[in-house]
Structure 1
Amino acid sequence: MIEGCTGQKLADFMGRDKAQINRLIKELVSQELIVKEENENDKRSQFLVLSATGREIMQMFKTIEKRVFSQMVGDISAEKIDTFIEVTQKLKSNLA
């Protein structure tokens, strides 16, 4: 999660146009997955916060993600997983 999440922070984080993010936010609000809360420090922006339904869905997602990850790496040694992580981090840093 992004602490003190605003539409602008989300746009910056995702590398997307603010108009695209605003359409997404509008849809998530209409589905009651997030709510907007007043930003006391900046009246021009609002914080985006998961609703109770949004938190439930995130918890279900995390549970499923753990199950899929365990299945995916089930027969791979911890040493090989560590090597894989090191290599992929190096690949990523080479692109930066």
Structure 2
Amino acid sequence: MNINALEATFHLSHAIKQHLGSQLEAKNLNIAPMHVRVLKVINKHQSCTAIDIASFFKRDKAQITRLVKQLIELDFVKKKPNPEDKRSQLLVLTPQGTALQKSLSVFSEDLQKQITQGINAEDLATFVKVAEKMTSNLSNA
């Protein structure tokens, strides 16, 4: 069977999302892979707004707002006043969110090891370079 680059990328993306989803379900976290990505951004940027996250993912603000609302309801994220803009609020991880983020980081490292098993460093570097170029090609279209 001849699979082109687009199909191979879809297969990889789907496999990662499925694996992550099943792991989250096994841990009874009641969150989806997109929640994980939002938590990661909030953790990395220490404090950001829902608009920042929507821009980062190039997603609709309403979709991100729903995800953030769910994370707040689960006590993983809280809002705090934005000292630079009184009209917006910053999102920060709660202690429970920080603990979850740490456990998700371990999971991400394990997934990274699993997904790259048997792939030498040079091939992996080439893959990353090609994937980044493909992403750039779509972003600039």
TM-score range, shorter chain: 0.7 to 0.9
* Aligned equivalent of 1:34: 77
Structure-2 separation of matches of 1:8 and 1:18: 6
Amino acid paired to 2:106: T
Q: What is the DSSP-based 3-state SS (H/G/I as helix, E as strand, rest coil) of the residue aligned with 2:92?
A: strand
Q: Which residue of 1 aligns with 2:123?
A: 80
- Mapping 1:13-92, distance limit 5 Å: 13-92=56-135
Length-normalised TM-score, structure 1? 0.83
Shift in CA distance, 86/63, structure 1 to aligned 2, threshold 3 Å: same
TM-score (norm 2): 0.60
Q: Partners in 2 of 1:33 and 1:65 — Cα distance?
A: 18
Query: How far is 1:69 from its partner?
Result: 1.2
> 2: CA distance between counterparts of 1:90 and 1:11?
22
Letter in 2 for 1:33: F
Distance 2:50 2:80 in 1: 12
Determine the C-alpha separation between the residues in 1 that align with 2:119 and 2:91: 39
Q: Which moved more, 1:11-20 or 1:39-48?
A: 11-20
Counterpart of 2:105, as a letter, is K
Superposed CA RMSD: 1.7
User: Number of matched residues?
Assistant: 96
Q: Greater RCO between the two (CA within 8 Å, min separation 6)?
A: 1
Query: Which has the larger helix fraction?
Result: 2
Instruction: Look at both structures and tell me which one has the larger radius of gyration over its CA atoms.
Output: 1
Structure 1 residue matching 2:118: 3-state secondary structure:
coil
